[in-house]
Structure 1
Amino acid sequence: MSSSENSNDKVVVGIDRLSDGPMHTQDPFLFCVYHKDQYPAGNGKMEAPRRGNGADFNPNAPYRMYHGEKVPGFPQHPHRGFETITATLDGIIDHTDSMGNAGRYGEGDLQWMTAGKGVVHGEMFPLIHEDKENPTRFFQIWLNLPSKSKMTEPAFVMHWGSETKKVKDEGGADVIVWVGEHKGERTAMKSPPNSWAADPENDVGVVFYSLKPGGKCEIAPAKGGKATNRFLYFVEGENGKQFVSDVNVPKKHGAEIVGDKTAVLENRSETETMDVLLLQGKPIGEPVASHGPFVMNTRQEIMQCFEDYQRTRFGGWPWEKDAMVFPADKPRFSLLNGVEELGK
């Protein structure tokens, strides 16, 4: 941009480097991680050779075990006061929780869980293929709950990839609308009932853009205009060739954009695909107090979270293992309130 350009005309108002773990987010979001792991073929027990020390997040390794001992992933752990949105591109995830719900999902599916007053869940990445590698790629996003909803009943929703709104943009972009809309193409999938996203006025969006070399794609102004926070995560692409409204965004960086103007994504690479995630929403605008898996409004409420979890275990753990996985030949499924549904 030229120095003479009026700041009121700017689309990009900030650029931040993305961390290798949790990335910068804006209200109403709390946390966003881009997981990309090139897991090897499984050993018959869906396991990977052990890496790291039980807290393995090394970005330079071909894959991470996270907190898994033999199967990668996150064995049972508690949450309260927010929601998790797990949006998959590649790979398989096995879910279990303290409500007795479960699922195997991936390859474009999205799982949305409201922790509310408290839930314990596990997310494991079983290596179901023995004859080929098991690459995994997905986003995990934490969406805050307003104070009035922090102690709501937990909820669990599965959205299958076949039901996801996919748009072939004329400029050379493949768009996945997980939450919200792209150029009037709106997902029909619903959020849990007490989510901040349940009210269309809150303008929540989670949209993924994959631009072919030379591709270009417009992001229309947000319905909420200036009141909507918007942030773009450039997670894949060629350094020096990624642009939003003619502003270069370096590799592993993100761009804050204004809500009331059209933003133009452009991939000027001749060889590399550019992948970008958009998170947007009107801010909740309340104090945030967090510690580990708990997000409330005050430190006193955080202390109460720990006391409640120690006393109740948020309903206990009904599964036989902390790191629960299902048989390798079990298809994608959702078990909700005792009713099992196969993936679509």
Structure 2
Amino acid sequence: MTSKYHPAIKALTPLDFPWPVDDPFLFCAYHQDIYPRANEEFGPDADLSGRNLGSDFIKKDGYRMYHGETVPGFPAHPHCGFETLTIVEEGFVDHTDSLGATARYGKGDFQWLTTGSGILHSEMFPLLNKTELNPLELFQIWLNLPARSKESPAAFNMYWAEKFTHFDIVNSSHLKVFTGQLGHYRASITPPQASYASSEKADLTVAVLTLAKGEQFNLPKAHNLHALRSLYFYMGNSVKIGDVVIDKPMKISLDSSFDQLPIIAIDGEVKLLLLQGVPLYEPIVQHGPFVALTKDRLYEKINEYRRTEFGGWTLPTSAPVHGEITKRFAKRGEETEWPS
């Protein structure tokens, strides 16, 4: 990587787990695991001895179990005071929550969960293929809720891959804008009203850019020049941004006022995540999945969870999976939603 920065590049930061983020984002994790074929319990048909089951975050044999002990994933856990944006590029996620909702999503689907006043949910990664590998690739992004929405009711929305717009930008390259806009590339999703993303001045944008070898995308300036903008180069051999060649996973902090910044895939296909937004400039007091404005309020929310479990968990397991069905769905009460 060259040492000279292009004028649009403010900083370069190597990627670790989780990825570094800027206000109004709180957290960004990229999960890529190649699970073996499935057993009868929707977990890996493999010997799990030697793993720190319950907290397995070291990639071994190409995958991690995370907090799962039989099925990989994250058994029932609380959240409050922010939103989770989950983009599943490959594999499946089984969602269950204390509001009584369930979902199986993947294959490019996007879940927007407003945790608000509090929710208890699980996110398991069921393995459905018993004869071949089970790859998983997803992002989970935490977006802070503004003070006005910290106590909004918890809710989740599913956006199926078939129903939101993907843009072909040049030949074999494409852009997926999950929320917000980049120039004339505008997301088809309307953010939840409680979200900071619902404010036009926030210029809150989440997008994934895929460039084929030798192809170029000119990144337009932000609509609100107070927005903080970061590109995350996470897949591929090398990418050129302006006149800087980057050949390692990297967060590239950009001047959002710079227009038509050239991004070129040099050696094979590359993928980059873009996170952008005007900072909230509000206090953040955080303890793991609890986010509040003050320390006193944080303690109140933790104690509330201990008393109520944010609606309670009535299932016999903290790590439920939704059977062998390969169709994706979202169920709220008696209503079931399908991608098409």
Relative to the length of structure 1, the TM-score reads 0.93
Cα distance in 2 for residues equivalent to 1:319 and 1:115? 20
CA contact 1:156–1:336 (8 Å) conserved in 2 = no
C-alpha displacement of 1:172: 4.8
1:90-101 correspondence to structure 2 within 5 Å:
90-101=90-101
Tell me which of 312, 316, 324 is aligned to 2:312.
Answer: 316
Query: Residue in 2 aligned with 1:265?
Result: 263
Using the aligned pairs only, state the percent identity.
37
Q: Matched residue of 2:76: which SS?
A: strand
Query: Residue in 1 aligned with 2:58?
Result: 58
Query: Residue in 1 aligned with 2:300?
Result: 304
C-alpha displacement of 1:171: 6.5
CA RMSD of aligned residues (A): 1.7
Cα distance in 1 for residues equivalent to 2:246 and 2:171? 19
The AA in structure 2 aligned to 1:294 is F
Query: Residue in 2 aligned with 1:116?
Result: 116
Q: Do residues 17 (structure 1) and 45 (structure 2) align?
A: no
Q: Kindly tell me the number of residue pairs found equivalent between the two proteins.
A: 334
The AA in structure 2 aligned to 1:254 is K
1:196-275 correspondence to structure 2 within 5 Å:
196-225=196-225, 227-238=226-237, 241-262=238-259, 263-269=261-267, 272-275=268-271
CA contact 1:157–1:191 (8 Å) conserved in 2 = no
Relative to the length of structure 2, the TM-score reads 0.94
Q: Matched residue of 1:169: which SS?
A: strand
Cα distance in 2 for residues equivalent to 1:80 and 1:177? 26
Cα distance in 2 for residues equivalent to 1:125 and 1:248? 35
Cα distance in 2 for residues equivalent to 1:139 and 1:2? 29
Q: Do residues 39 (structure 1) and 38 (structure 2) align?
A: no
Q: Matched residue of 2:213: which SS?
A: coil
CA contact 1:36–1:137 (8 Å) conserved in 2 = yes
Q: Matched residue of 2:112: which SS?
A: strand
Unaligned residue ranges in structure 1 (runs of 5+): none
1:258-297 correspondence to structure 2 within 5 Å:
258-262=255-259, 263-269=261-267, 272-297=268-293
Residues 168-222 of structure 1 show CA distances to partners (whole Å, capped at 9, x for unaligned) of 1126521111112233121221222200011222111110011111121111111
Residues 250-279 of structure 1 show CA distances to partners (whole Å, capped at 9, x for unaligned) of 41211000111122211111xx32110000
Residues 115-145 of structure 1 show CA distances to partners (whole Å, capped at 9, x for unaligned) of 0000001000000111211100010000001
Cα distance in 2 for residues equivalent to 1:337 and 1:139? 27
Cα distance in 1 for residues equivalent to 2:330 and 2:315? 16
Cα distance in 2 for residues equivalent to 1:179 and 1:61? 35
Tell me which of 311, 336, 339 is aligned to 1:340.
Answer: 336
C-alpha displacement of 1:159: 0.1
Q: Matched residue of 1:312: which SS?
A: helix
Cα distance in 2 for residues equivalent to 1:318 and 1:111? 23
Residues 78-134 of structure 1 show CA distances to partners (whole Å, capped at 9, x for unaligned) of 001000000111000000000001100000000000000000010000001112111
The AA in structure 2 aligned to 1:266 is I
